[in-house]
Amino acid sequence: MIIVLKQGISANSIKEVTAKLEAKGVSVSHFSDIKRDFLGLIGDTSGIDTHQLQALTEVEQIVRVEEPYKRANRKFHPENSVVKIDNETIGGGQLGIIAGPCSVESEEQIIHVAKRIKAAGANFLRGGAFKPRTSPYSFQGLELEGLRMLQAAKAETGLPIVTELMSTKWIDEFVESVDMIQIGARNMQNFDLLKEVGKTQTPVLLKRGLSATYKEWLMSAEYIMSEGNENVILCERGIRTFETETRNTLDIQAVPVIKKLSHLPIIIDPSHAGGMSYLVEAGAKAGIAAGADGLMIEVHDDPANAWSDGEQCLTPDEFAELMVKARKLAEIEGRSIQEASTILTK
Amino acid sequence: MIIVLKQGISANSIKEVTAKLEAKGVSVSHFSDIKRDFLGLIGDTSGIDTHQLQALTEVEQIVRVEEPYKRANRKFHPENSVVKIDNETIGGGQLGIIAGPCSVESEEQIIHVAKRIKAAGANFLRGGAFKPRTSPYSFQGLELEGLRMLQAAKAETGLPIVTELMSTKWIDEFVESVDMIQIGARNMQNFDLLKEVGKTQTPVLLKRGLSATYKEWLMSAEYIMSEGNENVILCERGIRTFETETRNTLDIQAVPVIKKLSHLPIIIDPSHAGGMSYLVEAGAKAGIAAGADGLMIEVHDDPANAWSDGEQCLTPDEFAELMVKARKLAEIEGRSIQEASTILTK
Amino acid sequence: MIIVLKQGISANSIKEVTAKLEAKGVSVSHFSDIKRDFLGLIGDTSGIDTHQLQALTEVEQIVRVEEPYKRANRKFHPENSVVKIDNETIGGGQLGIIAGPCSVESEEQIIHVAKRIKAAGANFLRGGAFKPRTSPYSFQGLELEGLRMLQAAKAETGLPIVTELMSTKWIDEFVESVDMIQIGARNMQNFDLLKEVGKTQTPVLLKRGLSATYKEWLMSAEYIMSEGNENVILCERGIRTFETETRNTLDIQAVPVIKKLSHLPIIIDPSHAGGMSYLVEAGAKAGIAAGADGLMIEVHDDPANAWSDGEQCLTPDEFAELMVKARKLAEIEGRSIQEASTILTK
Amino acid sequence: MIIVLKQGISANSIKEVTAKLEAKGVSVSHFSDIKRDFLGLIGDTSGIDTHQLQALTEVEQIVRVEEPYKRANRKFHPENSVVKIDNETIGGGQLGIIAGPCSVESEEQIIHVAKRIKAAGANFLRGGAFKPRTSPYSFQGLELEGLRMLQAAKAETGLPIVTELMSTKWIDEFVESVDMIQIGARNMQNFDLLKEVGKTQTPVLLKRGLSATYKEWLMSAEYIMSEGNENVILCERGIRTFETETRNTLDIQAVPVIKKLSHLPIIIDPSHAGGMSYLVEAGAKAGIAAGADGLMIEVHDDPANAWSDGEQCLTPDEFAELMVKARKLAEIEGRSIQEASTILTK
């Protein structure tokens, strides 16, 4: 961290600022050019609050050279992380394909969709049991009953389960019944929830907040990791911009940027990004071409009667077609997608 | 709600769509012009999911004429709401002036600041005990000990206390010790937390999320109100835009828009909006001129040594000067700010 | 266009509004449900100003069902447009690969780069002669001399030339010496310039403005087309968002959305979108996978000494490697990229 | 400017980079702490292209301590600029109140409105003769005929005229007939146009681009000033954000930020910011309270029949009422607004 001091500062003031900084446990080196003085902070500056330093009257500007995240930082962990989720992994050569309905609606529905997506090549089942809805008057999910139905679908198909946790209240139930806990975009900075999932060892799918910068997103991953749970997978699902024709703007550059800054796997959710089914194929293929480690795609047997987010769902047939194209693309990129099968095995 | 159907749709398809809609408990009237058919939905459409309707292949476009919020809607509650908080109110002729440090740091500090802001005319004390910090390595607040210190400051000065709740875990302690519960910007769509504070009768200060639309913000208020707690005050604290010179962009138009859409009081937080102390005066005065019901301002005795957000704090002297100017402005606008005093009374 | 009238409006007011609307040359049909009255406007509403209608006190809301663009609209031109540029095309099976330096710096430089990119498979040469720079103190381009150098490079390599026009002053020189005129992001709504290039038959590469919606972008294309020049190609080059780690956010969903709304070809510029060379590969490949009709990529022999935008340039070698990967990807998508060659022919 | 070099760089590389930098005409001083080396650039760095430096493989990060604008910079011109426009000024104690219709529609109309706004206290007349419209099919303005009508209104009322210039083609006519040339938001980075108005001495009202940062805006002012025309007034008119309920978001913090960075006057346009007449009062008053040097407000005799932007116009009566309130507010802030009069004098 470099601190640029205001012009015309006295030697005494420099001493005072230096003393204040050293009291924070860092070493300070002083250098200057003709016009200005600078202080370089050496040591672990991750706990230093630049907002506080900025309040010092002597300070013109602060430049953080080091990133504030450590465990999520590729500098300290150069190899890609591969996260193990039940009998599958995300982050290695095979892409993680997560599919399923927005909401779990019935045991019959979720089992049926699970079989169809597995047959097409998906290796994870998603389905919302607790739903974050903008309106308190909208369907809020089947809750614990939904979790039970997801388990029934796993028992039928063997697909590991991914579902969203919205409250620390249900954390024990999730650890017990779920293979990967999803933290939704709206809760990306629900620090209380992040700390609690950080205390478990269940893999966490951390969606990017609607207006979160890459750094804030990685700092949220850091919250989970700093509590001991290093099994974090990032999910880009569109950011909020001025464009209203699409629900959100899929930030495809998130893939190469996160790959540079961090060792964590990153997947793409084209269903929520665009908010319309006709946008899913382009988003999914762009994600693979950009180097993502997987996809999360909403699939519903009867989108027009889905209990939530119907307009962005693919039908199982559309999903199967997409997987055929995605598989070819993945191969060109030196990755793979699980083979499609017509015979279902547990 | 009007549904625009695709061109060239058959009479039979119209019948089918009509039946599906009626199954959702609304009446449907059909009209058409030369080119198109339209369906008008009559009745309570607040529970209808437009995303689901959009998935119907017959649908071109959906137009929601009614707002999805009811309890927060000015249409059903034409007079301004005045919220009672301990012995004070917000929403009436006297502005609610909430001041205090970002974080509670010690009993001595919080009592000292409370006395100074009260003397200048503030009628509420703020101070963070649980702090939402981007970094897990930053100071996270004194937690319950901080609540105790706020109560000590209230005992000294009589100022009602406002502080942020980040977890449902502490809700009982908050209901017991706090006069107004703040829901922070990052938790504006933490629906679990909203429902829980909705079950209490403690007034809630609901900050706008960094990228929340007015409608989403009002829907979050609706979450609280639909659980039975109608004591909601909205707080505009800056939104996230492309501009980087300021921490956030203060959306001053939020005041007249919210006043039109809703009966709930709205206050302005110029400290978090700009993120720098030199911006506070302009933001505060603009807020009053635009018709806000109050202000929330960070005040710290020694900003350069504040444990968080130092660069946006005013000193008690700067705050006192601002109150003198703000009081004159409020009077021009037909409102008032509590008189300054040199003698402190409980 | 549907006009939702305010509740409780009198039959007389409806008559008056209807008369005002008919005076604008459209037919009006009236329908109503229990709560409200609606007016449907039939006929050519593209010249109707919704802002003006909104000012009528009787109007609650206006819903435009028809898009305001006509010539750019896929509805009236269902097949993809293929634009002919000199001896090449964009919009068909072969991708248009435009490459070259940000600025033309010397004849030697531009010829050298042109040869290298042609050898790698590019089929268009770009190079800025007139440069839009944020600072008046930055290098502004070699201007007409730069155009001459581009022509020299075309004479050597046969590659058609694409370069930016910033002023109507030079339009004759551009029509004479340039194969495709680029309109930059900052001038996307310089309507005077759009009209002037619309009066020529030179193909126009219309970059999306930094905060332009898809509709505004298509309306700018409409400006050009309505003057008679239908040879328009759209170029997505990143939009402005809150994220600061990248120069702009590449909006990959622009490809499927534009393909749905319009018949015009669309290409991707990953160099300007990300603003850093390490982001180019991911953006370029994502663009092809999403269905773009081409790419625009900055290539410079010596990026560290480029006169502008050095940090986002690829070297010729990096570009050649990218083309190898892009070609495979294009083939998977049923498209092609011109073969690389080691022997240069005019 | 400070350049942070990558870790582990050799002494030789440092020498090479230093030589490259010195070749750009600046002095370079080298300092280092335990982990890194830094280069401080001394001298005039306003012409240095940070994008180019960033392309050097040795460079980790570049920190510009100095602002890139000079003539617009308050550091080199500490007192507020007061711009003289015909017989009026903006930037001093009296606020500049610019009012009038969006479009000039007829001589009768513009004279009538001019008289009404003058009577209410406005000291400038606005009215569009050349209109930047999103659609080529919308009314484009009366052009030169409109200019003539504005002059007729000036002859009647004595009010100086402000109107938008969209093309360098008409610059001579504007210099001759207009008292202040407006550069619209869409042309804020039409550098060709900026340079041309910079060569005149006619005062320029420079509107902020929809997604322009403060720095880019000041750099556009710098374009005008660097050509010799220092008579620049900035106008905040709302920025583009994710919020759709208002046309744009009025960035009220622009006032204190610009006042800190620059000596140029800044005014507020609440009509375009909100896009709806009910938002004008709050925006106008917030602007004055925040310290703006004036207002620009759309006034039309019959908003429902305005040829453009009807829904954001005030009627002359509404404008007169607003002026009464604004005048009181200005006085509290130590400023003034011209008195209203019932007798019209030239």
pLDDT in tens, A81-102: 999 999 999 999 999 999 999 9
The chains found to touch B (3+ Cβ pairs under 8 angstroms) are A, C, D
Q: What digits encode the pLDDT tens for the residues A227-241? A: 999 999 999 999 999
Contact yes or no for A63 and D60 at CB 8 A:
no
Rg (CA), chain B: 23
The chains found to touch A (3+ Cβ pairs under 8 angstroms) are B, C, D
Token pair, residue A99, equals 């599919």
Closest alpha carbon within chain B to D286:
B286
Chain C residue numbers with beta carbons less than 8 Å from the beta carbon of A274 are 253, 256
Q: What is the mean pLDDT of residues B18-46?
A: 79
CA distance C289 to chain B (A): 25
Using CB atoms, which residue from B246, B255, B282 is nearest to D282?
B255
CA distance A146 to chain B (A): 17
Q: What digits encode the pLDDT tens for the residues C191-219? A: 999 999 999 999 999 999 999 999 999 99
Cα separation, B17 vs B40, whole angstroms: 12
Chain B residue numbers with beta carbons less than 8 Å from the beta carbon of C5 are none
Q: In the β-sheet with B37-42, what is the strand arrangement from edge to edge?
A: B27-32, B37-42, B2-5, B59-63
A10 Cβ neighbours under 8 A, 6+ residues apart: none
Chain C residue numbers with beta carbons less than 8 Å from the beta carbon of B45 are none
Chain C residue numbers with beta carbons less than 8 Å from the beta carbon of D53 are 310
pLDDT-derived band of residue B55, with 50, 70 and 90 as boundaries?
confident
For chain A, give the mean pLDDT. 92
Cα separation, C239 vs C249, whole angstroms: 5
Closest alpha carbon within chain C to D132:
C191
Using CB atoms, which residue from D31, D60, D65 is nearest to A60?
D65
Q: What digits encode the pLDDT tens for the residues B102-145? A: 999 999 999 999 999 999 999 999 999 999 998 898 889 999 99
Q: What pLDDT does residue C344 have?
A: 47
Q: What digits encode the pLDDT tens for the residues B4-31? A: 888 888 888 888 888 888 888 888 888 7
Closest alpha carbon within chain C to B243:
C242
Does D345 have pLDDT greater than 70?
no
CATH number of B74-333: 3.20.20.70
Q: What is the mean pLDDT of residues A243-254?
A: 97
User: B52 with A304: CB under 8 angstroms?
Assistant: yes
Chain A residue numbers with beta carbons less than 8 Å from the beta carbon of B46 are 135, 137
Contact yes or no for B211 and A210 at CB 8 A:
yes
Does C48 have pLDDT greater than 80?
no
pTM of the model: 0.93
Largest CA distance in chain D: 79
Q: What digits encode the pLDDT tens for the residues B200-233? A: 999 999 999 999 999 999 999 999 999 999 999 9
Using CB atoms, which residue from A27, A31, A242 is nearest to D31?
A31
Contact yes or no for C244 and B244 at CB 8 A:
yes
Q: What pLDDT does residue D296 have?
A: 98
CA distance A323 to chain D (A): 33
Does B331 have pLDDT greater than 50?
yes
Distance linking the first and last C-alpha atoms of chain B: 54
Distance linking the first and last C-alpha atoms of chain D: 54
Contact yes or no for D241 and B249 at CB 8 A:
yes
Contact yes or no for C239 and A257 at CB 8 A:
no
CATH number of C2-63: 3.30.70.1140
Cα separation, A324 vs A340, whole angstroms: 8
CA distance A156 to chain C (A): 34
Contact yes or no for C240 and D168 at CB 8 A:
no
Q: What digits encode the pLDDT tens for the residues D23-78? A: 888 888 887 776 778 888 877 777 777 777 777 778 888 877 778 899 999 988 99
Using CB atoms, which residue from D239, D257, D274 is nearest to B245?
D257
* C-alpha torsion sign, points B181, B184, B185, B186: negative
Closest alpha carbon within chain A to B276:
A55
Which residues partner with C84 through β-bridges?
C89
Q: Which among C26, C33, C61 is the top mutation candidate for probing chain B, defined by the most B β-carbons within 10 Å of its own β-carbon?
A: C33
Q: What digits encode the pLDDT tens for the residues A285-335? A: 999 999 999 999 999 998 877 777 778 899 999 999 999 999 999 999 999
DSSP secondary structure code for residue B91 in this structure = S
Chain A residue numbers with beta carbons less than 8 Å from the beta carbon of D38 are 2, 31, 38, 40
Contact yes or no for C52 and D137 at CB 8 A:
no
Closest alpha carbon within chain C to D303:
C55
Q: Which among B216, B243, B255, B261 is the top mutation candidate for probing chain D, defined by the most D β-carbons within 10 Å of its own β-carbon?
A: B243
Count chain A–chain D contacts defined by CB atoms under 8 A. 54
Chain A residue numbers with beta carbons less than 8 Å from the beta carbon of C255 are 282
pLDDT-derived band of residue A344, with 50, 70 and 90 as boundaries?
very low
Q: In 10 A of CB C108, how many CB atoms?
A: 12
Using CB atoms, which residue from C55, C305, C310 is nearest to D310?
C55
C73 Cβ neighbours under 8 A, 6+ residues apart: C67, C218, C261, C262, C263
Does B346 have pLDDT greater than 70?
no
CA distance D207 to chain C (A): 14
Closest alpha carbon within chain D to C130:
D192
Q: Which among D22, D41, D63 is the top mutation candidate for probing chain A, defined by the most A β-carbons within 10 Å of its own β-carbon?
A: D63
Using CB atoms, which residue from C34, C42, C244 is nearest to B42?
C34
Cα separation, B272 vs B284, whole angstroms: 11
Chain C residue numbers with beta carbons less than 8 Å from the beta carbon of B212 are none
Q: In the β-sheet with C2-5, what is the strand arrangement from edge to edge?
A: C27-32, C37-42, C2-5, C59-63
Q: What pLDDT does residue C345 have?
A: 44
Sorted by where each begins, the domain ranges of chain D are 2-63, 74-333
Chain A residue numbers with beta carbons less than 8 Å from the beta carbon of B3 are none
Q: What is the mean pLDDT of residues C37-66?
A: 78
HSE of B254 in the Cβ direction (CA atoms, 13 Å)? Answer: 37
C187 Cβ neighbours under 8 A, 6+ residues apart: C132, C166, C193, D189, D190
Token pair, residue D342, equals 């019932």
N residues, chain B? 346
Chain C residue numbers with beta carbons less than 8 Å from the beta carbon of D191 are 132-133, 136, 166, 186
pLDDT-derived band of residue D299, with 50, 70 and 90 as boundaries?
very high
Q: Is the ipTM of this complex over 0.90?
A: yes
Q: Assign residue A141 a region: left if phi > 0, alpha if psi is -120 to 50, beta otherwise? A: left
Chain D residue numbers with beta carbons less than 8 Å from the beta carbon of C240 are 211
Closest alpha carbon within chain C to B7:
C65
Residue owning tokens 């100074």? B116
The chains found to touch C (3+ Cβ pairs under 8 angstroms) are A, B, D
Alpha carbon distances (Å) from D261 to A254, C230, D188, D219, D266? 33, 45, 19, 12, 12
Q: In 10 A of CB D341, how many CB atoms?
A: 11
| Coil, strand or helix at B163 | strand
Q: What pLDDT does residue D63 have?
A: 78
Cα separation, D96 vs C27, whole angstroms: 45
Alpha carbon distances (Å) from C68 to A82, C208, C230? 49, 18, 17
Q: What digits encode the pLDDT tens for the residues B173-191? A: 999 999 999 999 999 999 9
Does C308 have pLDDT greater than 60?
yes
Token pair, residue A48, equals 């230093």
Cα separation, B156 vs C126, whole angstroms: 72
C332 Cβ neighbours under 8 A, 6+ residues apart: A328, A329, A332
